Amino acid sequence: MPAEIKFGTDGWRALIAGDYTYANVARCAQGLCDYLKRRGTAGRGLIVGYDTRFLSPEFAATVAGVCAGQGIRVLLSTEAAPTPVLSYNVLRHQAGGAAIITASHNPAAWNGFKFKPEYAGSATQEITDELEADIAQAEPSAPDVILSAAKNLSAGRSSGLVVDLDPSEPYLNHVACLVDLEAIRAAGFRVVVDAMYGAGAGYLPRLLEGGATAVEELRGHRNPAFPGMAQPEPIAPNLAGLLARVPAVGALAGIALDGDADRVGIIDEGGRFVTTLDTFSLLALYLLEEKGWRGSLIKGVTASQALNKMGGIYGVDVHEVQVGFKHMGPRMEELNALMAGEESGGFAFRGHVPERDGILSGLYVLEYMAKTGKSVSQLLESLFRQVGPHFYHRRDIEFDAADRERIRQKVNSPALETLGGFAIVGSDSIDGRRLRFDDGWLGVRFSGTEPLLRIYAEAGSPERVTRLLDAAAEYLGF
């Protein structure tokens, strides 16, 4: 029987050579063709791109071949490209969407299939439900799927149905209109970028070259094994080299990008990792205070309560939604929100695509520094003076699939009144379960992209955060 293909918070992901095969990628492409034809957007063509993972270019060629065989025009990326870059090209070329071969931040053995519809953001739940049904009805691919796709791709090139695309230039030109690049170039910063062997390599150096600011890039070449890290996710355990390099060379900031560059990690001048929650808060503060912009903030339930406090200070609404831009993007568009973001380090901004962009996020941090003359640590001090201290940590726990229901029942138990010695003053189930305390919160949810249980905590001291995480792990039997 063909594998069941299900889309999580952002696309379908599976183990390469397990469920992630040429045949199943071809089924995804066939289902996508059927979806586009039914929606009436097939005539606008499709962007097809890929990241730096094992066989990603070959899987992308298979998608392009299947689509060409269905008479759908394809703009096929000539190189690995970040997801936000490919998403922007959907708008630039007024395409019917983008199919992107990427597993984002997942471990090296994984790959994935993302679909970005004509609005260039993450596909909504309604769209992925339709797409899953179309894929399920697609004919199982023949054993010669690779040869068939290759023939269709070759024929498509000859007929003009498949066209090569350099996705970088339209994106770079657009970003130059959003950010004062000259101010950053003239600031004379030293910046270290960690591309984590991913698709974002080269973008920040290209954008910032030609001025007094010097940019050094680490792990800027393709290596599908992603050595030296558990997965290409820009969190402290995966960034030892960057954390050491920033203070060693006297850099004022470090910027890390995940595998498809839709997430960002920030390092201060002392080589300290800035939590993703604080990065979100810093970016929101910059837009609200320094730029003087106004608009709603959209946050995932596991983002910082500092944002709620900022909403009160600056008179803007703060909307809490489920984790994942399939939920945040539509809300952002509906409200013309100023910014949307989630705990994972993915942030989106008005005037750009309704999608996470790690490159643009990093540039806004550097612009904040250039405009204020402050270091990252000084910007954090300014933030905490307004909203008070906020400390945060997340634990990812692997679990046996057979234990999922037991965990779910424990998480949703209505009898829980205290945790770690702290009284629970409220709770919600917007996404998983979130418990509220007088000083902080704790959240528990299953990952939508990996077989992991995630436990999150934020409080006014690191000791409280640790107590809450320890108590939650013990309560859940880990």
Which residue did the predictor score with more confidence, 145 or 107? 107
Residue 264 lies in a domain: yes
pLDDT band at 140 (very low <50, low <70, confident <90, very high): low
Residue 128 is part of a domain; what is its CATH number? 3.40.120.10
Predicted confidence at residue 340, as pLDDT, reads: 97
Q: Among residues 108, 115, 111, 112, which one has the least CA distance to residue 87?
A: 115
First to last CA, the chain: 35
The mean pLDDT of the chain is 94
State pLDDT tens for residues 63-84: 999 999 999 999 999 999 999 9
Residue 274 lies in a domain: yes
Strands 452-459 and 391-398: antiparallel
Distance CA 10, CA 324 (A): 7
147 lies in the same domain as 266: no
Q: Among residues 262, 214, 253, 206, which one has the least CA distance to residue 234?
A: 262
State pLDDT tens for residues 293-340: 999 999 999 999 999 999 999 999 999 999 889 999 999 999 999 999
Q: Which residue has the tokens 């094992």?
A: 54
Predicted confidence at residue 413, as pLDDT, reads: 78
206 lies in the same domain as 261: yes
373 lies in the same domain as 330: yes
Looking at the structure of the chain, the number of domains it has is 3
- The residue-averaged pLDDT of 359-386 equals 97
pTM equals 0.93
pLDDT band at 142 (very low <50, low <70, confident <90, very high): low
Predicted confidence at residue 323, as pLDDT, reads: 87
Residue 101 lies in a domain: yes
Predicted confidence at residue 130, as pLDDT, reads: 96
278 lies in the same domain as 144: no
Residue 335 lies in a domain: yes
Residue 102 clears pLDDT 70, i.e. is over it: yes
Predicted confidence at residue 189, as pLDDT, reads: 96
252 lies in the same domain as 109: no
357 lies in the same domain as 467: no
304 lies in the same domain as 156: no
pLDDT band at 20 (very low <50, low <70, confident <90, very high): very high
Answer with the one of 103, 132, 166 that is the final residue of a domain.
166
The number of C-alpha atoms within 13 Å of 349 and in the hemisphere containing its C-beta is 23
The answer to whether 141 and 22 have CB atoms below 8 angstroms apart is: yes
CB crowding 310-347: b at 16 or more within 10 Å, else e: bbeebebebbbbbbbbbbbbbbbeebebbbbbbbbbbb
- Residue 153 belongs to what domain range? 12-166
Answer with the one of 363, 387, 411 that is the final residue of a domain.
387
Predicted confidence at residue 127, as pLDDT, reads: 96
Distance CA 187, CA 435 (A): 44
State pLDDT tens for residues 402-422: 888 998 888 887 778 899 899
Predicted confidence at residue 91, as pLDDT, reads: 98
Query: Measured in whole angstroms, how far is the alpha carbon of residue 465 from the centre of its chain?
Result: 25
Predicted confidence at residue 3, as pLDDT, reads: 84
Distance CA 174, CA 352 (A): 8
Residue 141 clears pLDDT 80, i.e. is over it: no
Q: Which amino acid is at 104?
A: S
Residue 265 lies in a domain: yes
- The residue-averaged pLDDT of 272-291 equals 96
- The residue-averaged pLDDT of 265-280 equals 97
Following DSSP, what letter does each residue of 8-39 receive, concatenated? BTTBEEEEBTTTB-HHHHHHHHHHHHHHHHHH
Answer with the one of 331, 358, 387 that is the final residue of a domain.
387
pLDDT band at 448 (very low <50, low <70, confident <90, very high): confident
184 lies in the same domain as 321: yes
